[in-house]
C-alpha cells in the first residue's frame, strides 16, 4: 500500500544495511523520511506448555523501496502471454476510477478508494487476473458512497469478525462476476470454494453467516456489474 500511495515501481524493500550490503546504497537525499515500517512478531516458548509459542511483542524494521536504492533493478519477472480482457471484463477493471497495476500484491485501500493488483502478465491466466480484480472491486463496492458495508466502512484488523465476513462477501461476489463474464472454470471454482471455506471456519458457531454473506455477495456483484454498464 505504501508503494501504491507513493508511486514506487519496485517490488523489493531493503533495510539501509541490506541495501548497502547488496551494493545498492540508499540515495539518502531522496530516502530520508521515506521509509515504511515492517512489524515482525516475536515469540517465546510457553512455560507451562513448551510445545506452544506465546506472542511477546513485535520487532520493528525500517525498510526502503528499491526505487530509492542506487542502481537497483528488480529481478526479471516471469512474463506470461495473458490475453487482453474483452470489453466486458475490461469494464470491470475500469469501474470506479480504474485499477492500478504495480507491485506483487492485490488490495483495496478504502482510505484512497483505490484498487491495486500486479501487472496482468504476473497472473497464470486471464480468468485468474479478472477474478482477482473482481474480488477487489467487490470490496470497493462496499465504500461508504456505495453499498456502505460495515466490513469496509468499519474495517478493522486482519482476521477480525468484520474482516472475515467481508472476505466471504468479496469472494462470493467475484465468483458471481466471473460466471457472468463467462470466465469461470473448474480450477477457479475450486479456489473460490477453498477461500470461502477458510474464512467460514471463523463462523462455525453461526452457519447463517454464509447465507448472509452470499446474499451480500450477490448484491455486491449486481451493483458492480451495473456500475460497469453490464
pLDDT in tens, 32-47: 999 999 888 888 888 8
Tell me what the mean pLDDT of segment 8-18 comes to: 91
| 39 and 101 together in one domain | no
Structural domain includes residue 120: yes
DSSP 79-106: P--PPPP-HHHHHHHHTTT--EE-SS--
Which of 68, 95, 113 is the last residue before a domain boundary? Answer: 68
| 114 and 145 together in one domain | yes
| 26 and 114 together in one domain | no
| 41 and 139 together in one domain | no
Mean pLDDT check: name the lowest of 8-12, 52-56, 99-103, 129-133. Answer: 52-56
Cα→Cα distances 158→38, 58, 64, 77, 107, Å: 15, 16, 23, 28, 13
DSSP-derived 3-state class of residue 142? coil
In terms of residue numbers, what domain contains 8?
A: 2-68
List all residues 6 or more positions away from 37 whose beta carbon is below 8 Å from its beta carbon: 60, 61, 62, 63
Tell me what the mean pLDDT of segment 56-66 comes to: 91
pLDDT in tens, 158-207: 556 777 788 889 999 999 999 999 987 676 677 777 777 777 766 676 77
Structural domain includes residue 110: yes
Q: Looking at residue 40, what DSSP letter applies?
A: E
* Nearest alpha carbon to residue 201 among 212, 191, 213, 210: 210
Q: What is the CA radius of gyration of the chain?
A: 20
| 217 and 117 together in one domain | yes
Which of 40, 68, 96 is the last residue before a domain boundary? Answer: 68
Q: pTM surpassing 0.75?
A: no
pLDDT(155) > 70: no
| 55 and 116 together in one domain | no
Structural domain includes residue 133: yes
Amino acid at each position: 500500500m505504501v508503494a501504491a500511495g507513493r508511486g514506487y515501481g519496485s517490488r523489493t524493500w531493503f533495510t539501509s544495511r541490506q541495501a548497502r550490503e547488496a551494493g545498492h546504497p540508499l540515495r539518502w537525499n531522496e530516502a530520508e523520511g521515506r521509509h515504511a515500517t515492517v512489524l515482525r512478531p516475536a515469540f517465546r516458548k510457553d512455560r507451562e506448555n513448551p510445545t506452544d509459542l506465546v506472542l511477546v511483542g513485535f520487532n520493528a524494521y525500517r525498510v526502503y523501496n528499491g526505487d530509492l536504492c542506487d542502481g537497483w533493478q528488480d529481478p526479471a519477472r516471469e512474463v506470461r502471454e495473458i490475453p487482453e480482457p474483452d470489453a466486458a471484463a475490461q469494464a470491470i477493471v475500469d469501474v470506479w476510477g480504474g485499477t492500478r497495476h504495480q507491485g506483487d500484491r492485490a488490495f483495496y485501500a478504502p482510505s484512497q478508494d483505490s484498487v491495486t493488483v500486479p501487472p496482468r502478465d504476473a497472473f497464470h491466466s486471464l480468468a485468474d487476473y479478472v477474478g482477482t480484480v473482481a474480488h477487489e472491486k467487490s470490496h470497493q463496492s462496499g465504500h461508504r458512497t456505495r453499498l456502505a458495508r460495515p466490513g469496509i466502512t468499519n474495517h478493522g484488523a486482519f482476521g477480525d469478525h468484520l474482516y472475515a465476513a467481508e472476505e466471504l462477501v468479496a469472494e462470493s461476489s467475484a465468483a458471481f462476476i466471473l460466471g457472468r463474464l463467462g470466465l469461470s472454470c473448474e480450477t477457479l471454482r475450486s479456489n473460490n470454494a477453498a477461500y470461502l471455506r477458510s474464512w467460514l471456519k471463523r463462523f462455525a458457531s453461526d452457519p447463517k453467516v454464509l447465507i448472509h454473506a452470499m446474499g451480500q455477495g450477490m448484491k455486491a456483484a449486481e451493483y458492480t456489474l451495473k456500475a460497469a454498464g453490464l
